[in-house]
Amino acid sequence: MTVGIVGAGITGLALAHHLEKADIEYVVLEADSEPGGVIRSDRVDGHLLEWGPQRLRRTEPVDELITDLGMDDEVIEAGETKLFVYANGKLRRAPFSIEEFGKTDLLSWRGKLDVLKEPQTDPADPDETAAELFTRKFGEEAYRNLIGPLFGGIYGSEPEQMPVKHALSGVLLMEQKYGDLLTPVLKRAMAGGTSAPAISFEEGIQRLPEALSDAHAENVHLETAISEIRQSDDGYVLETDGAEFAVDDVVLTTAAEASADLLENLTDSAESLTELNYNPLALVHLRADCDREGFGYQVRHDEGLETLGVSWNASMFDRDGVYTVFLGGMKNPKLVEESDQTLGETARTEFNDVMDADADVVSVARLGRGFPAYDASWNALDRLETPDGIHLATNYTARMGVPSRIREAKGLATTLAESHATRPADRE
């Protein structure tokens, strides 16, 4: 059995790694000249910049890859883990422990009491929006000052536009398990708010897909775009410009539009993928001298800023004065079309207001289709049907974070290995 994997982002490469461990043959085909997909790290004027993820959690599946690849000495752990919300004209610390909850000035005493009443509220409804759910369960103040900015910030999205069934499937499962949402939050808070440590690598997060690609170089083909997928008598043929790869199963790890093109000849429902919204983003890297410590901040909606949030790479990973400003998103997608100068100046001026520090613009970049929006357009997935032997592993089949991508890849490798084990019996 050979598995054809389209895309050498983190999902495709983690899948390759786990298929190899399971002794299943595979081939990875990547259009770009580098592995990593949206994970991009490089130096500009000596500064290490990230154009995709700024940090990742060292969960068990991430740890397994790092250990398998012998990369422990390249890992850097984030220093100070504080996270801030810019609200009422000031940076205020988000609470992740009981003590911080007691002290936070993001919530009044009344707001704190509303949070504690969550177990008395009705269960989550998959069809309500994330904003409705958070407001109903934790109170208006907690939504506006804390949960809205932090949750919306992760996706550059508007919780008012995100149905629970698409944006918060994990929360639905959590509520089913614990009976309410406050219990798991309190459990974590009582453990000091700890979760898997946030990490990067000395030369940036792209080192992880690079190391995977190097480890499996024999089966990873860069600069090999798939133009068409054809069904054959006993599987599929992946066509590239000038070559063909015969495989038994195909895994698409590509973003929705690319997958729609590739599935066009195989299912009438492929066009549903073209309907999925992704939020356009601009990333502006600044250099500044600041002494604030933490992960960074998200901005409350009504503060009158264009900035969605800022990652403090300087503090997290000692990155020589580097700060990454996120602009655009669902809040103002048109902003991403402005000139480099306008974007740089917007990021620099607002950074100066919030951080009280001068900054220089190091780089301006745009992602036309950045974060998955997980909005109502995701309903289109209800119409999608894939033929036997075609699998999807991507940010519309599970969550977008790197740990989730690796977990999904590992799970799919297990499923494919199990189906391989039963195939000879099927054929008899």
Ligand X SMILES: Cc1cc2nc3c(=O)[nH]c(=O)nc-3n(C[C@H](O)[C@H](O)[C@H](O)COP(=O)(O)OP(=O)(O)OC[C@H]3O[C@@H](n4cnc5c(N)ncnc54)[C@H](O)[C@@H]3O)c2cc1C
Of 9 and 294, which has the nearer Cβ to ligand X?
9
Min dist CB 393 to ligand X, Å, is: 7
Of the two residues 8 and 78, which places its CB atom closer to ligand X in the complex?
8
CB of residue 38 to ligand X, shortest distance in Å: 4
Number of Cα atoms under 13 Å in the Cβ half of residue 379: 7
Cβ at position 78, least distance to ligand X in Å? 11
CB nearer ligand X, residue 47 or residue 55: 55
Chain residue whose CB lies nearest ligand X: 37
Residue 137 or 319 having the CB closest to ligand X: 319
At its nearest, how many Å lie between ligand X and the CB of residue 119?
30
Q: What is the nearest approach in angstroms of ligand X to the Cβ of residue 422? A: 27
Q: How far is the CB of 214 from ligand X (least distance, A)?
A: 16
Query: Shortest approach of ligand X to residue 173 CB, angstroms?
Result: 19
Query: Distance (Å, rounded) from C-alpha 74 to C-alpha 51?
Result: 19
Is the CB of 112 or the CB of 399 nearer to ligand X? Answer: 399
Nearest to 319 by CA among 223, 153, 202, 225: 202
Measuring CA to CA, which residue among 314, 315, 328, 321 is closest to residue 361? 321
Nearer to ligand X, 168 or 182 (CB): 168
Q: Which is nearer to ligand X, 30 or 158 (CB)?
A: 30
Nearest approach in angstroms of CB 35 to ligand X is 7
**Measured from the CB atom, is 53 or 163 closer to ligand X?**
53
β-bridge pairing 226-232 and 220-221: unpaired
CA–CA separation, 273 vs 266, rounded Å?
13
Q: Which residues bind ligand X (CB under 6 A)?
A: 6-12, 29-32, 37-39, 52-56, 225-226, 253-255, 258, 281, 367, 370-371, 394-395, 400-402, 405
